[in-house]
Amino acid sequence: MNSADSESLARRLLAAGYSEEPLERADVAILNTCVVRQASEDRVYSKLHELKQWKTRDRTIAVTGCIVAKEGDALRRKFPHLDAVVPIGDYDTFLAGLEARYDYSLGEPMPRSGRTGVSHYVRVIQGCDHNCTFCIVPRVRGRERHVRMQAVVTECRAAVAEGAKEVVLLGQNVDDYIDPDGGGGLAALVRQVEQIPGLKRLRFLTSHPQDLETELLDVMAQSDVVCRELQLPVQSGDDTILRRMARGYQTRHYRAIIERARELMPDIGLATDVIVGFPGESESAYLRTRALVEEIEFDVVHIAMYSPRPGTHAAIRMADDVPHEEKLRRLNDLLALQREIAARKTSLWIGREVEVLVEGRDELNRPYGRIRQGKRAVVMRGRDVYPGDVVDVRVLQATAGQLIGIPAA
């Protein structure tokens, strides 16, 4: 979501005549912020402190993103060298202010396919109507606002006409999508978008186990365009903790979704999020999460240590009772387990032929991209392979993080 917001602001700035420059040569620095965890919020403050050295009378520092809703004008008081506090998506006043300060002629907008020239991100829902007790997102991003299906389809069509090969439908909980004009939910939207001529890939994230339509799995399984990848946060493998998190499902529901998805798409890529050390998480509750991770064998697990976010139900009503060292132990234990699972799972791709949508070149100048199941893949001997190409690749090696192969004969 933040990347999509950054691209949207960058598009406006580039169209106004600005160019992207290294910080030391820039006139304007904009921090797009995330406050979902305390660590990410702390990084914003430390960056703002750092920028104090950079700031001069002619330079502008602006902050946008979730911290704006959380901190508001208090930011200006804490950081007097900060020039602008810009609410998400509300860029007009900010841009007008810049225009008054700096004199630029009109430039070229960024292509719809963004910096990679390959993927176009479309926000189909802004905000979230859930109230997970640990989560600050509903407070900083507000209630859900859904974009009309027709508008999404038109935007995707325009992006493909301008060169995008992939569109990514985004929502904090994308499964909640419902067309305000009555055209249906996410499965209906995906069916419409996947038919756009020239579109090679369609992804959507993030899903929610309580809201995922089973029809969506059928659409994924039947399509040559929709990626076989689910980002489905489980958060905990313990039903009592899930209830305390107000997630709205139990582990048996989660397992049923995975079972159905694998029945339809045996090699589906699965990514999840897990929080360790949530208030009340006993050792046995943690071990149930560990067992679930071991049983499901996700491809990717994003693991976070619980940190209370101000204003959330958990922060107000629940004691943060798992000691920091214990949270850290659980985090490291789960990371080690997942590293081993990921390495084992990626090795299963060796010898197989995969379809890679090329996004760019890595530091060794090798084309890289992603397979339909979401894994990163690097193409060796790919001199004539360019971003936007879809190439069949024979996998020769695999690490926990990526596949390496050569173009298939």
Binding stretches for ligand SF4 (CB under 6 A): 128, 130-132, 135, 137-138, 172-173, 208
Q: Determine the longest span between alpha carbons in the chain, in angstroms.
A: 63
Tell me the C-alpha distance between 295 and 314, whole Å. Answer: 28
Minimum CB separation from ligand SF4 for residue 398, in Å? Answer: 31
3-state secondary structure of 358: strand
Q: What is the DSSP letter of 174?
A: G
Residue 131: how many other CB atoms lie within 10 Å: 13
Q: How far is the CB of 208 from ligand SF4 (least distance, A)?
A: 5
CB of 166 to ligand SF4, least distance (A): 23
Q: Which is nearer to ligand SF4, 188 or 314 (CB)?
A: 314
- Smallest gap from Cβ 157 to ligand SF4, in A, equals 28
Q: Supply 370's token pair.
A: 């992603």
- Taking the complex as a whole, how short is the minimal distance between the CB of residue 5 and ligand SF4, in angstroms? 15
In the bound state with ligand SF4, the residue whose beta carbon lies nearer, of 1 and 378, is 1
Q: How far apart are CA 409 and CA 171, in angstroms?
A: 39
Record the tokens describing residue 154, joined without a space. 């038109």
Of 190 and 234, the one with the shorter C-beta distance to ligand SF4 is 234
> Which residue type is seen at 402?
Q
Residue 305, helix vs strand vs coil:
strand
Decide the pairing of beta strands 60-65 and 402-407: unpaired
Q: Residue 32 carries which side chain, given as an amino acid letter?
A: N
Evaluate whether 175 touches 213 at the Cβ level (below 8 Å): yes
CB of 379 to ligand SF4, least distance (A): 35
Taking the C-alpha atoms of residue 259 and residue 239, their distance in angstroms, rounded to an integer, is 18
Beta carbon nearer to ligand SF4, 141 or 375:
141
Closer of 1 and 342 to ligand SF4 (Cβ): 1
- Shortest gap between Cβ of 126 and ligand SF4 (angstroms)? 11
Which residue, 238 or 389, is less far from ligand SF4 as judged by CB? 238
- Token pair for residue 10? 């960058």
CB of 4 to ligand SF4, least distance (A): 15
Considering beta carbons, is residue 135 or 354 the nearer one to ligand SF4?
A: 135
Give the DSSP letter of residue 248. Answer: S
Residue 407, helix vs strand vs coil? strand
H or E, element range at 314: helix 313-317
Residue count of the chain: 409
Of residues 117 and 138, the one with the C-beta less far from ligand SF4: 138
